[in-house]
């Protein structure tokens, strides 16, 4: 199902040109126009789904099932020294196109164009805190 005003649905429909990396019945992969690092690729489901929250399990399954092959292809051709997978959900988390996508970002070393910033807060949480938090999440998932 194609959505009006969705850039990625327009790419799927061929209305907007793209540099295709892979395609099958369920999935389309193409070079991200921003090329944060060389070979930066987006993998999207052919079914429009806004983001991870709205994604049915079968769409997630088919989508992620293709990622190892695509990542390995990029690795074989450009010989990156690492690879990051990234999925942004909602604007505060940097989602700018509201059609689910996985970024495949090959890494070439410091200053290659991609960086992420992790602040470790291990000292702020006891093991009891972690158990309690895990229970809250688990109970919600299971309810």
Closest distance of CB 3 from Zn ion, Å: 4
Residues in 42-101 that interact with Zn ion by CB under 5 A: 48, 99
Whether 101 is catalytic is: yes
Closest separation in Å from C-beta 110 to ligand 5GP: 21
Give a three-class secondary structure readout of 43-104: EEECCCCCCHHHCCHHHHHHHHHHHHHHHHHHHHHHCCCEEEEECCCCHHHCCCCCCCCEEE
Kindly tell me which residue out of 73, 95, 107, 108 binds ligand 5GP, with binding defined by CB under 6 A.
95
Q: In whole angstroms, what is the distance from residue 104 CA to residue 83 CA?
A: 7
Binding to ligand 5GP by CB under 6 A, coded x per residue (else -) over 29-48, reads -xxxxx--------------
Given 3, 40, 101, 103, the catalytic residue = 101
Taking residues 107 to 126 in sequence order and writing x for each that binds Zn ion by CB under 5 A, - otherwise, the string is: --------------------
Report residue 140: phi and psi, to 5°: -70, -45
Residues 36 and 113: beta-carbon distance below 8 Å: yes
Taking the complex as a whole, how short is the minimal distance between the CB of residue 1 and ligand 5GP, in angstroms?
19
Active site residues: 101
């Amino acid at each position: 199902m194609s959505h009006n005003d969705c850039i990625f649905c327009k790419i799927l429909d061929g209305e907007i040109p793209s540099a295709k990396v892979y395609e099958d019945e369920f999935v389309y992969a193409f070079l991200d126009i921003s090329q944060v690092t060389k070979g930066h690729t987006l993998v999207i489901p052919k079914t429009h789904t806004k983001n991870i929250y709205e994604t049915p399990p079968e769409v997630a399954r088919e989508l992620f099932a293709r990622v190892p092959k695509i990542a390995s292809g990029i690795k074989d051709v450009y010989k990156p020294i690492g690879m990051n997978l990234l999925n942004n959900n909602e604007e505060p988390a940097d989602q700018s196109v509201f059609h689910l996508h996985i970024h495949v970002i090959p890494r070439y070393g410091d200053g290659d164009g991609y960086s992420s910033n992790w602040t470790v807060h291990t000292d702020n949480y006891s093991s009891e805190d972690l158990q309690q938090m895990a229970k809250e999440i688990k109970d919600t998932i299971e309810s």
